[in-house]
Structure 1
Amino acid sequence: MNVLESFFILLGGLWAGTINTVVGSGTLVTFPILIALGIAPVMAVVSNAMGLIAGGVSGTWGYRRELRGMGRNLACLMPASLLGGMTGAYLLLHLPESVFSFVAPALIVLALALVIFQPRLQGVIKKRRESATSSRSHETIMVLLVFLTGVYGGYFVAAQGVLLVAILGIFMSGTLQNANAVKNVLALSVNVVAAISYLIFAPEKIIWQVVALIAVSSLAGGFLGARIGRKLPPVVLRTVIVILGLVALFFMLQKLVVA
């Protein structure tokens, strides 16, 4: 890997770390770069996911203030994310790459719809929370959706943040910034458990130079993203989410058409 190629990976990692902290979809920057450099898709997914762990750590630390009072939510949702991440990593290492590419666009469309109609849906759910039975039902749905997002994140990584913010923004009490902070923790947990799976079951698919480059740059990007994301009003943050979700959808549909 020459200096120019390393520079592009560093630049992509910086942007990915920044945008992952703000909303997600950073992989849609780094993954195409790695593919363009001739790296095999599965190796690109594995190396990218491992490198972005550093950005997840700095982004989570940057949003630590918004995590106050979210302990119960994290205790409820973390196991679902971890189990989902392990399942997704298993699928990545054992199923054809084409399988999930057909499901991913549908998930992004769903995420965008949830983000766009979030204020209205959140209002409806808040009214129904007065019923204890209804509240338990909503919590169960949220845990299931977080698990499924973890499966997706463990398989491909890209846009799991968009899905998580959409789900948490509707079903979890608190502000959109609180949801974004919890999203960072859950996405990080998925990446960590997936990375452990890669290390144990497929170390030959890891390109350590790529991991190191993305790790260094995404670490800086995570701190930068936390500073930017906290200052954004909910409407602006929601708009950014929708725009990046559309970008994710474009890339995924383009991949299907080319295939």
Structure 2
Amino acid sequence: MSAAQMTLLALVGVISGAANAIAGGGSLIVFPALLAVGLPPLDANVTNSIAQWPSYFGATVGQRADLQGQAARLRLVVPLAAAGAFTGAVLLLVLSSAVFDTVVPVLVLAASALMALQPRITHWTGDPQPGDPDRTVALGLSVFVATLYGGYFGGALGIIMMALLAVTANDTLRRLNAVKVALSMVAATAALAVFALGAPVHWGWVAVIGPATLVGGYAGAKIAQRMHAAVLRWSVVVLGVAVGAYLVVT
């Protein structure tokens, strides 16, 4: 582990943490960097998943004010997020990744389109306002499926999660972004419990990247709190399209 490699991955970690807080997809910034320093794909995937946890913690702390008044929603989705991510992490260790290699770009691009169309979808469903009841069944199912994917791969989980929350939960995008990072932290915690026991985690790289993602996550959360809803929405869309295109060509 050279000084240049440590500096590169620390810098990448800060950028990744900020991206996770603002739009999602930060793990896809760290993943290729870990491959570049010589880690095999499975090792890079699980090491990346654990190294991202501090970014979600930092972002959750940074946006904790936006979680106020959402206790009922969180009571529904937190257990589902934990169950989904735990299941996905177990599947990663026992199944081939070939299927997910094929569907991940499709999922990311579809989520980006869903986010772009969110205002129109809201209009089609009767223009519900913040504070109106959520689509509870759709919300719970969406969170479970998203975190199942997140436990398995994790790349662009925030983009997918944000898009699904935007069309199943009736609240401002700023408050839903806070839910997104909190659920990402729950999912990362569940996956960590699996990977720490049975996966090839490179803890030295986690020690370098993790603190950097914490700093980036907290800073990104503060930026997200000041962003207009339209800017936040299109940040998710643009990053999602870029990530989806990257996954298609790699």
Cα offset for 1:32?
A: 0.7
Residue 175 of structure 1, aligned match among 172, 177, 180: 172
Aligned-partner residue type, residue 188 of structure 1 = M
Give the equivalent residue in structure 2 for 1:253: 248
Q: Distance in 2 between matches of 1:28 and 1:199?
A: 21
| Structure-to-structure mapping, 1:37-56, within 5 angstroms | 37-56=37-56
Q: Is the 8 A contact 2:85 2:187 kept in 1?
A: yes
* 1:212 aligned partner: 207
Give the total of aligned pairs: 248
Paired residue for 1:105? 105
Q: Which residue of 2 aligns with 1:240?
A: 235
* Distance in 1 between residues matched to 2:230 and 2:128, nearest whole Å: 24
Name 2:61's counterpart in structure 1.
61
Letter in 2 for 1:152: Y
The reply to whether residue 158 of structure 1 matches residue 155 of structure 2 is: yes
**CA distance in structure 1 between the aligned counterparts of 2:110 and 2:221, rounded to whole angstroms:** 26
Richer in helix (by share): 1
Deviation at 1:251, TM superposition (A): 2.0
Query: Is 1:13–1:30's contact at 8 Å kept on the other side of the alignment?
Result: yes
Q: Which runs of 4+ in 1 moved over 4 A?
A: 126-129
Which string of whole-angstrom CA distances, capped at 9 and with x for unpartnered residues, describes residues 180-207 of structure 1? Answer: 00000111111110010011222xx010
Q: Deviations over 1:209-251 (max 9, x none)?
A: 1111111101110111011111111111111111110121122
What stretches of structure 1 of length at least 5 have no aligned partner?
Answer: none
Aligned residues of 1:125 and 1:170 also touching (Cα < 8 A): no
Q: Distance in 2 between matches of 1:92 and 1:186?
A: 20
Counterpart in 2 of 1:141? Answer: 138
**What value does the CA root-mean-square deviation take over the aligned residues?**
1.6
Once the two structures are TM-superposed, the CA of residue 127 in structure 1 deviates from its matched residue by 5.0
Distance 1:19-1:128 versus aligned 2 partners, 3 A rule: closer
Contact 2:55 2:215 in 1 (8 A): yes
1:126 Cα offset (Å): 4.5
TM-score computed with the length of structure 1 as normaliser = 0.92
Q: Say if 2:216 is the partner of 1:221.
A: yes
Question: Relative to structure 2, which stretch is displaced further, 96-105 or 13-22?
Answer: 96-105
The corresponding residue for 1:71 is 71
In 1, distance between residues paired with 2:117 and 2:168? Answer: 13
Aligned to 1:25: 25
Using the aligned pairs only, state the percent identity. 32
Distance, in Å, in 1 between the alignment partners of 2:128 and 2:46 is 41
Tell me whether 93-102 or 81-90 shows the greater mean CA deviation: 93-102
Q: Secondary structure at the match of 1:69?
A: coil
Q: Which amino acid aligns with 2:97?
A: E
Whether 1:191 and 2:188 are equivalent positions in the alignment is yes
1:84-123 → structure 2 map (5 Å cutoff): 84-123=84-123
Per the normalisation by structure 2, the TM-score is 0.95
Q: Which amino acid aligns with 2:177?
A: N
